[in-house]
A and B are shown apart, each in its own frame.
Chain A
Amino acid sequence: MTATIDASTRRVTTAKAISEAIAQEMRTDPNVFVMGEDVGPYGGIFGSTGGLFDEFGATRIIDTPISETGFIGAGIGAAVEGMRPVVELMFVDFFGVCFDQIYNHMAKIHYESGGNVKVPMVLMMAVGGGYSDAAQHSQCLWASFAHMPGMKVVAPSNPYDAKGLMISAIRDDNPVIFMFHKGVMGLPWMAKNPRSIGPVPEEEYTVPIGKAAVAHEGSDVTVVSISMSVQHCLDVAEELEGDVSVEVLDLRSLVPLDREAILASVAKTGRLVIVDEDYKSFGMSGEVIATIADHDPSMLKAPVQRVCYPDVPVPYARVLEYEVLPTRDKIKAAIAKVMG
């Protein structure tokens, strides 16, 4: 169920694409409901539930107290009884107060029950920095979820994928962590890359969870990334056109990880750069490199370059934060280095 995009397709923000996906699923499936902090009249702090309260009312768009363990756990309970909750954790950084429900319950119930109990739930959350929100409100942390078995982990980089992935996530019989980077939401109150507003068909369509996208074709170097950083990679790929032929691979999900797509691209280019706004060590970049190393390290013509968040908490002052964030300049430098 894919949709076609042409010049007449309307352009919307990623936030709008997400809320539209939820609305469309809610219209067809009465088991879908939304809960979280400020998801009601406010429409979600980052706009993920904009307009839903007006259409569906307080019984299906539920504002919760600041009790994440309570309402995420309640989402699990509703899911095991056959509902399809879409639960919002306002910022990923807050997972510390409720992680037991997430990794010991949401993620493990299906396995522990020998496959007898399903938890068809979406847990969506904002991730990412770049606007001086400091150490407790700017992290990505997707690898922390991906590390633990039992949950799918998706993180779209653009409006089209966001809508299709959200519909897939709601229909999925597994728990899905849906991470939207604040920078890709197209918020009116935050500086944004124009790529955060893009063509999104009005009809329902799905984007499969677990399939990477070649966001920009190239033959000299593969740049693997996810979420907001993909936008920076695309900017760089376009800037370098005619000079270096950059292939940008948007993973779109970490679980499942599309290892075939990584191998296929690196088989073609022989050079690999990984761009990740999550912490460097024990994370996505290491896993991508391991995918190559496990398969055939001789695919690589040059050592891999990683543009990742160094292993430091997110600092507040802009000069400090931009020192450690992945930026276009750092991506360009990494590409230059692998090109030799």
Chain B
Amino acid sequence: MISDDTRVQFYKDMVRIRTYEAALQRDYHADKTPQWDIGAGLIPGEMHLAAGQEPVAVGLCANLEQDDAITGPHRPHHLALAKGVDMKAMTAEIFGRVTGLCHGKGGHMHLFDPANHFSCSGIIAQGMPVAVGQAFAFNRKGTDNVAVAVAGEGAANQGAFHEALNLAAMWKLPVIFIIEDNDWAISVARDTATPIKDGSLRAAAYGMPSARIEGNDVEAIYEACKIAVDRARAGGGPTMLEIHTVRLWGHFEGDAQAYRGDELQEATERDPIPAYEKRLRAAGLLDDEAVAAIQAEAQAEVEAAIAFAKESPEPKPSDAYLHVFA
């Protein structure tokens, strides 16, 4: 049984993430006018937002400790925030400021926060073997920490995914492989990229327990991740979970999504946050006032992080030459 407090916390955490992504989306586009230019504005470069995928991050991270690790993909903000990465430092990084997590070197696809054992990579599936190595280190050091590798369903067609699963299974390491199946890899539909309808079946090839979680329901995701995390902490080895979620927005900002057709409208109707809010209202856990307060609190935190980023200084040009070697 998930407690009422926890359920409300899940809702708050999801609203916090969505509020963050919406504010980034707003600011990302704000100064790319009149001629939209990907390299212009306070937030330049590619921008992959995770609206719709909040239940995965929140349900997963509710099971994790600060010293557990996550390697995330190119779409990392929801995971970073749920894992406890400082919102201000992360935002400053996305704005390319010297106060950022990586002093403006990394950008939104390359967030590194060693204090929370969080990292991500823009190269598809390539964070997955790294999580195996973090789990290896936890094992050798005798801690009960776990490492989680998160990637999209498209990434599961990459060799690194399979190699990582095999290693983790062979060495019985405390790894949880999370596949966020949002039906799309940019414009390539999931079902045109693999003949397997249930990607979790692949884990069987490595003798690894697995499950596919339908419904994009934060509670079901939490419960499934709990089983996997508990097993890993107890020395029971890795688990793979494929979680069916939804990509509400474009692959990256600026994606016109013509390839989605009617599916886009259908996806919008699968927005997990209003759905969860409805459930919690029906259970008497939320009302108009509570929802308004939660949204206001999230908005205030997000705007403060953005203000911090905007007020922070840019790096010095000569900083470009620092950090090539330790």
Contacts and interface: CB of A to CB of B under 8 A. Distances in A.
A320 B106 contact: no
12 contacts: A38-B187, A38-B188, A40-B188, A41-B187, A69-B159, A137-B122, A191-B39, A312-B321, A312-B324, A315-B105, A315-B319, A317-B107
A94 B44 CA distance: 21
B104 A317 contact: yes
Interface string A41-66: 11001000000000000000001111
Contacts of B96: 132, 316-320
B37 interface: yes
Interface stretch (B61-69, B150-158, B202-210): B150-158
10 closest Cβ contacts across the A-B interface? A131-B39, A316-B107, A317-B96, A317-B104, A132-B44, A132-B45, A65-B157, A323-B317, A42-B187, A65-B193
Nearest to B189: A63
Interface in B79-113: 93, 96-97, 102, 104-107, 109-110
Nearest to B317: A323
Contacts of A312: 320-321, 324
A318 B40 CA distance: 9
Nearest to A182: B38
Contact of A136 (B109, B158, B185): B109
The size class of the interface chain A forms with chain B is: 35 or more
A159 to B, nearest CB: 20
A44 to B, nearest CB: 10
The size class of the interface chain B forms with chain A is: 35 or more
Nearest to A45: B186
A310 B155 CA distance: 32
Given A137-B109, A310-B320, A323-B318, 11 more contacts: A66-B125, A67-B157, A97-B124, A132-B44, A132-B107, A133-B46, A134-B45, A189-B254, A191-B37, A316-B107, A320-B320
Nearest to B94: A316
B164 to A, nearest CB: 13
A112 interface: no
DSSP class of A's interface residues: helix, strand, loop or mixed?
loop
B49 to A, nearest CB: 16
A189 B159 contact: no
B124 to A, nearest CB: 5
DSSP class of B's interface residues: helix, strand, loop or mixed?
loop
A130 B39 CA distance: 7
Contacts of B39: 130-132, 190-191, 318
A286 B155 CA distance: 38
A130 B315 CA distance: 17
Contacts of A135: 105-106, 110
B71 interface: no
Contacts of B107: 132-134, 316-317
B282 interface: no
B119 interface: no
Nearest to B255: A42
Interface string B130-154: 0000000000000000000000001
Interface in A297-329: 310-313, 315-324
Contacts of A316: 45, 93, 96, 102, 104-107, 110
B171 interface: no
Given A42-B259, A132-B45, A320 B186 contact: no
Interface of A: 37-38, 40-42, 45, 63-70, 93-94, 96-97, 130-137, 188-191, 310-313, 315-324
Contacts of A37: 185-186, 188
B1 interface: no
Contact of B320 (A69, A94, A133, A315): A315
Contact of A319 (B102, B186, B314, B321): B314
A97 B123 contact: yes
B160 interface: yes
Contact of B123 (A41, A45, A93, A322): A93
Given A136-B110, A136-B123, A191 B40 contact: yes
B37 A189 contact: yes
B258 interface: yes
B188 A189 contact: no
Nearest to A311: B324
Contacts of A69: 159
Contacts of B160: 97
Which of B45, B93, B316 has most A Cβ within 10 Å?
B45
Nearest to B193: A65
Nearest to B104: A317
Contacts of B121: 136
A94 B324 contact: no
Contacts of B258: 41
B268 interface: no
Interface in B304-326: 314-321, 324
Which of A96, A130, A317 has most B Cβ within 10 Å?
A317
Contact of B154 (A65, A94, A133, A137): A65
B104 A190 contact: no
A324 B320 CA distance: 7
A68 B157 CA distance: 9
A191 B36 CA distance: 9
B124 A66 contact: yes
Given A41-B258, A67-B158, A310 B105 contact: no
A40 to B, nearest CB: 7
Contacts of B109: 134, 136-137
B308 to A, nearest CB: 16
Nearest to B37: A191
Given A94-B123, A189-B254, A134 B317 contact: no
Contact of A133 (B37, B45, B188): B45
A94 B74 CA distance: 13
A317 B321 contact: no
B192 interface: yes
B9 interface: no
B6 interface: no
A131 B38 contact: yes
